[in-house]
Amino acid sequence: MDWVNYHHLMYFWVVAREGSVVRACEELQLSQPTISGQLAKFEKSLRCKLFRRVGRGLELTEEGRVLFRYADEIFTIGREMVEAMKGRTTGRPLRFAVGVVDVLPKLVVYRLLEPACRLEEPIELVCHEGKLDSLLGELALFNLDVVLSESPAGAQPRIRAFNHLLGSSDVSVYGTADLADRYRRGFPQSLADAPWLLPAAGTTLRRDLERWFDSLDMRPRIIGGFADSGLIKAFGQAGVGLFAGPTAIEAEVRRQFQVETVGRIEGVRFQCYAITVERRLKHPAVLAISKTARGTLFAAD
């Protein structure tokens, strides 16, 4: 029987995922001659070439792509095995690492994660906030169990990720009582000269809002663009401008930030995704998130 050298398989998998031996060396903390030598032995044992050089990088051969799919499954199952064993023999809580895209409203994140903290099996919640690409990299390295995002992960050759739509919601416009009184009458045409606090350029909601402005032949007076959703609401609470957010958390937004609803935007939807390396959700905390999203948070929509 032929046995697989799993060290060689791991080196191959990391190099394939990173796209170069140099980046794989940084992750594995091994020298370039070591990894290159081990890959050469692995290819010799398999009697096939796994990579071809393209410019300064590496590209998988057909045999390499087949092997990468198997390796991905193997190490995904290995990660699940380790996670399944965490805390079982020591009595420590199950670690649950979540990546949160920074533009995602904090109230949405709280509503999603709060039930996971009330599971019968105790968990230790660890949250990391950042840009989607960076968080997907951590997900690929198994440093995160799930990434919560307002947009799905696109196709990336080095990262196998699956998008699970948790739900969607209408989008409403919010502002202080003074701003709401000024711009509520005649909405949305009344917004022609309104001050706006928008998400950062390039985000899904920003693009959707810009298309909505174009459909109304309106050029918004943009006071600021923010990568952090919490900053938008802080400025909005201070009366600096109007801001848009999911209708699903309308009651919480109005109560927490002392703002009022100016109107509801037609044709713009907020969506929320759980992104994992698993085709089907298995982690008990991720299952709790999905149940909450579909059962209560986005149920009305």
Q: Put the strands of the sheet holding 123-130 in their side by side order.
A: 123-130, 94-101, 146-149, 260-276, 162-175, 243-246
Q: How confident is the model at residue 18 (pLDDT cuts 50, 70, 90)?
A: confident
In this predicted structure, what is the pLDDT of residue 1? 45
pLDDT value at 20 more than 50: yes
In this predicted structure, what is the pLDDT of residue 57? 76
The reported pTM is 0.68
pLDDT value at 240 more than 70: yes
Query: How many angstroms separate the CA atoms of 90 and 25, rounded?
Result: 33
Which among 50, 84, 118 is the end of a domain? 84
Residues 103 and 141 occupy one common structural domain: yes
Residues 46 and 138 occupy one common structural domain: no
8 A C-beta contact, residue 203 and residue 268: no
The answer to whether residue 19 is domain-embedded is: yes
Domain count of the fold of the chain: 3
Please give the C-alpha separations between residue 259 and each of 199, 245, 263, in angstroms, as whole numbers. 18, 12, 12
Query: How many angstroms separate the CA atoms of 78 and 99, rounded?
Result: 21
The answer to whether residue 1 is domain-embedded is: no
For the segment 248-275, the average pLDDT, to the nearest whole number, is 94
Whichever domain contains 27, its CATH number is 1.10.10.10
Q: How confident is the model at residue 190 (pLDDT cuts 50, 70, 90)?
A: very high
